[in-house]
Structure 1
Amino acid sequence: MVFFKSRSIAVHEDHQPAEECIAAAATAATGGDCRSLTVWRKSLLFSCTGFTVIDSCGDLVYRVDNYIGQRPGEVTLMDASGKSVLTVRRRKNLRLVENWHVYEGEVGDTSRTNRPSSSKQPICSVKKHINILHANHNVLAYVFLGNSDKRYAYRIEGSYANRSCKVLDESRRVVAEIKRKEAMNEGVSFGVEVFLLIVCPGFDSGFAMALVLLLDQMFS
């Protein structure tokens, strides 16, 4: 873990003292303020592509390590210890609209049947929004709970290319947000490879990160 921590601090200039970290953890546990995560669009393993997600103390929270050329239609989100949290998997179909499923944990070998080897059901499906013949050009995707696509639970609006997105529930309340990370020192720019994921109380941070992975597949 020392290797991960030393590299994570390099992209996290807002490193906090231990006392502030303890206070932030207590606030998050009681459902207080929003949680701020720094997302680095880079794997910490040299032979992989992926993501590294760091909390406000500079500790590794989530990671994505994809070996180059491995399963381009399937991405697994892991916690700091390497345990699979969620799997994002693209659905192959002949329809114009692109669809993805999100599963808890891993889904096994899908190379032959295009289906999970286990009997797992997706916790949600996500549909990319096609702007053709639609008035709302600000919508990026719709999130449906389970395997249904009749009524969305969340919608994602904004621009992933500019790292400016919001996840809204049915009442249009913002539950998560992707924002550009501002550098504290003048003349230093993080660009779009390092950005912030803000997660509001009551919304799962792992699920929010899975939506980031989906947006990256849709719009990168």
Structure 2
Amino acid sequence: MTQGEECDAASHRAVARGVFPHLCSPSPTKLTVWRKSLLFNSRGYTVYDDSDGRIVFRVDNYAHNWREEAFLMDPHGHVLLTVQRCKKVKENICWWAFLQMLSMLECWEAYKGDKNGCRRAAPPVFKATKALGNPSCTISVAATDGEHQHYKMYWSRRHEWTKLYRASISLSPVAEVSRKCGGSRPVMLGKDVFSLRLQPGLDQAMVMAMIMIIDVMK
């Protein structure tokens, strides 16, 4: 095993401790992300497992504030993660709050379950921040052992791809999104159909929530 392969293997082991262990596949996984809801007049996503065609995740949102909050659900409509844009702070001004107020920093957080339906809001499972005009995003994931895992996500609007790297460890992306090709010939499918490829050990729900946030940040 080369040094790069050893680093990537360490990365895959490190991310195996996901919020939803049953969604951490021991082998590479390929999902189809359709940026459409199955419900009429609703914004959202429908995500399929390429291996058997079953629906893995849903996002259905009728609300006008879909750019401020969204819910990642399982096929049965149970909320797995709530993703919310961080509110701008207007008191106790510091450099972070000041940048937020100037909209130079965009910040999102993800919470386990339906945050609005919980009596006590638990800390976010991850936070994503992006500087104005920067085609990348920094993601900090709260691990169960108290330590934080850090990621960088890059994207290209022109070439329509997104790549997730584990900060300081991965030499290659641990997850990638790109336009999906169909059939025996490399023909691009619709503009709303994408392929999501994940390396072993990644929490599929967490990565999907990250992609939802990046789609708004782009």
Q: TM (normalized to structure 1)? A: 0.71
Describe the shift of the 1:72–1:166 C-alpha distance in structure 2 as closer, same or farther (beyond 3 A): closer
> Is the 2:24–2:204 Cα contact (8 Å) retained in structure 1?
no
Q: CA deviation at 1:89?
A: 0.3
Q: For 1:108, what is the secondary structure of its paired residue?
A: helix
Compare relative contact order (CA 8 Å, sep 6+) and give the higher one, 1 or 2. 2
Give, in whole Å, the separation in 1 of the partners of 2:163 and 2:109: 20
Aligned to 1:55: 49
Aligned to 1:86: 81
> Is the 2:24–2:200 Cα contact (8 Å) retained in structure 1?
no
Describe the shift of the 1:192–1:118 C-alpha distance in structure 2 as closer, same or farther (beyond 3 A): farther
**Match among 108, 125, 132 for residue 116 of structure 2:** 108
Q: Deviations over 1:67-105 (max 9, x none)?
A: 152554000000011110111100121152000001111
Structure 2: state its 5+ residue gaps: 1-22, 89-100, 143-147
After superposition, the CA RMSD in angstroms is 2.6
Q: CA deviation at 1:144?
A: 1.1
**Corresponding position: 1:42 with 2:21:** no
Q: Deviations over 1:114-133 (max 9, x none)?
A: xx8633110111001434xx
Give, in whole Å, the separation in 2 of the partners of 1:120 and 1:58: 34
Q: CA deviation at 1:58?
A: 1.2
Give, in whole Å, the separation in 2 of the partners of 1:189 and 1:49: 23
- One-letter amino acid of the structure 1 residue matched with residue 138 of structure 2: Y
**Corresponding position: 1:99 with 2:99:** no
Describe the shift of the 1:141–1:152 C-alpha distance in structure 2 as closer, same or farther (beyond 3 A): farther
- One-letter amino acid of the structure 2 residue matched with residue 107 of structure 1: K
Q: CA deviation at 1:190?
A: 1.8
> Is the 1:140–1:159 Cα contact (8 Å) retained in structure 2?
no
> Is the 1:160–1:216 Cα contact (8 Å) retained in structure 2?
no
Runs of 4+ in 1 over 3 A off after TM superposition: 185-189
Aligned to 1:23: none
Give the count of matched residue pairs.
176
Give, in whole Å, the separation in 1 of the partners of 2:30 and 2:43: 23
- One-letter amino acid of the structure 2 residue matched with residue 167 of structure 1: L
Give, in whole Å, the separation in 1 of the partners of 2:87 and 2:154: 24
Aligned to 2:166: 169
Aligned to 2:152: 155
Give, in whole Å, the separation in 2 of the partners of 1:195 and 1:90: 24
Describe the shift of the 1:161–1:124 C-alpha distance in structure 2 as closer, same or farther (beyond 3 A): farther
Describe the shift of the 1:30–1:182 C-alpha distance in structure 2 as closer, same or farther (beyond 3 A): closer
Query: What pairs with 1:1-220 in structure 2 (closer than 5 Å)?
Result: 31-32=26-27, 34-56=28-50, 57-93=52-88, 94-95=101-102, 96-108=104-116, 118-131=120-133, 139-146=135-142, 153-160=150-157, 162-170=159-167, 171-172=169-170, 173-184=172-183, 189-219=188-218
Q: For 1:44, what is the secondary structure of its paired residue?
A: coil
Q: CA deviation at 1:165?
A: 1.4
Q: TM (normalized to structure 2)? A: 0.72
Structure 1: state its 5+ residue gaps: 1-27, 110-115, 132-136
Give, in whole Å, the separation in 2 of the partners of 1:36 and 1:200: 9
